[in-house]
């Protein structure tokens, strides 16, 4: 049987900082290598798009200006996106996308950009910019995913994510949104080295750019498996890939993060 995944990429023209497009490429290639058909639908402001056929949503990061530009259009799609997530469709949102999938983002000027409330989270701009390499322990989230979906996410469950953060927004999670992980190196959601990112059902939000998925192939596969499960209604095991290079890149990023400086501007 042949399989297919349909990804809806929200505002690729306005929300694509620091290599976020690489996340889409990673999803596409890891599907291609397994002979899974991968279709991408770009969703831009004003497009007449039916979300009923989406299997996964992706939204990258953007500057405050970019978030303001897309926010009104995103709000018009709020119910469709919320319904998808509630039904189990996976989503990956990066930085500004993570913020706009929360309740609101308040800029340094005091402007409040309303979000679509997928995540129980609020973001308020801080007075410093938090920049640097990040290592995150995701062992708690990983164990919950394995228990929830009754399958082994990966042969030897990985417990770290690596990436690069560059944000001034400080995000606080409410009781209905779990942190994606705890910070080993870096600043995290609130700049205090505590929690990083958030997740609700199969929707993930994070500040990790760089891009995230190529250096964390197990997370890429998790999203693919969730999209297949959503589309076909049952778990579909993925063929194993040779991830030697990806694992080396991941380990190199971990080692670099140990000695690299983080900046608070």
Each residue's pLDDT, cut to its tens digit, for the chain (265 residues) gives 799 999 999 999 988 877 889 999 999 999 999 999 999 999 999 999 999 999 999 999 987 777 888 999 999 999 999 999 999 999 999 999 999 999 999 988 888 999 999 999 999 999 999 999 999 999 999 988 887 776 555 455 578 999 999 999 999 999 999 999 999 999 999 999 999 999 999 999 999 998 999 999 999 999 999 999 999 998 898 999 999 999 998 999 899 888 876 666 6
Instruction: Output the pLDDT for position 154.
Output: 45
Q: What are the structure tokens assigned to 144, written together?
A: 């919950």
Is 95 a residue of the active site?
A: yes
Confirm if 215 and 250 have CB atoms less than 8 A apart: yes
Cα–Cα distance for residue pair 80/255, rounded to 1 Å: 41
Confirm if 189 and 171 have CB atoms less than 8 A apart: yes
Going from N- to C-terminal start, the domains of the chain cover 3-264
Confirm if 206 and 196 have CB atoms less than 8 A apart: yes
Residue from 149, 206, 212, 202 nearest 179 by CA: 206
Q: Of 9, 167, 177, 209, which one is the catalytic site residue?
A: 209
Q: What are the structure tokens assigned to 35, written together?
A: 């002979």
Q: What phi, psi does 48 have (nearest 5°)?
A: -90, 100
Confirm if 115 and 107 have CB atoms less than 8 A apart: no
Q: Of 95, 167, 222, 250, which one is the catalytic site residue?
A: 95
pTM (2 decimals)?
0.94
3-class state of residue 33 by DSSP: coil
Is 177 a residue of the active site?
A: no
The dihedral region occupied by 128, where left means phi > 0, alpha psi between -120 and 50, and beta the remainder, is beta
Reply yes or no: is the peptide bond before residue 2 cis, omega within 30 of 0.
no
Task: List the alpha helices (DSSP H) in 42-170.
Answer: 64-76, 78-86, 96-100, 139-149
Instruction: Output the pLDDT for position 162.
Output: 96
CATH number 3.40.50.880 given to 3-264: yes
| Alpha-carbon dihedral angle through residues 23, 103, 105, 203, given to the nearest 10 degrees | -10
Spatial CB neighbours of 189, under 8 Å, sequence gap ≥ 6 = 170, 171, 172, 173, 179, 195, 196, 197, 198, 207
């Amino acid at each position: 049987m042949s399989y297919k995944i349909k990804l809806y990429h929200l505002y690729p023209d306005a929300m694509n900082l620091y290599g976020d497009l690489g996340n889409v490429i990673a999803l596409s290639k890891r599907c291609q290598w397994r002979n899974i058909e991968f279709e991408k639908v770009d969703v831009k402001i004003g497009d007449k798009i039916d979300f009923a056929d989406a299997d996964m949503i992706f939204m990258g990061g953007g500057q405050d200006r970019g978030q303001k530009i897309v926010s009104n259009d995103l709000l018009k799609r709020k119910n469709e996106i919320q319904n998808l997530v509630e039904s189990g469709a996976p989503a990956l949102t990066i930085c500004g996308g993570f913020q706009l999938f929360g309740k609101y983002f308040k800029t340094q000027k005091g402007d409040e950009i309303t979000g679509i409330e997928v995540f129980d989270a609020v973001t308020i701009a801080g007075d410093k910019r938090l920049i640097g390499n990040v290592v995150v322990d995701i062992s708690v989230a990983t164990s919950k995913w394995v228990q929830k979906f009754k399958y082994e996410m990966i042969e030897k469950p990985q417990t770290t994510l690596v990436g690069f953060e560059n944000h001034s927004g400080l995000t606080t999670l409410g009781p209905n949104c779990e942190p994606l992980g705890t910070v080993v190196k870096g600043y995290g959601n609130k700049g205090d080295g505590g929690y990083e990112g958030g997740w609700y059902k199969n929707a993930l939000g994070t500040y990790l750019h760089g891009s995230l998925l190529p250096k964390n192939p197990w997370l890429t596969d998790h999203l693919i498996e969730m999209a297949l499960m959503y589309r076909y209604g049952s778990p579909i095991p993925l063929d194993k890939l040779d991830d030697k290079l990806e694992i080396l890149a991941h380990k190199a990023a971990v080692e670099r993060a140990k000695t690299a400086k983080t900046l608070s501007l």
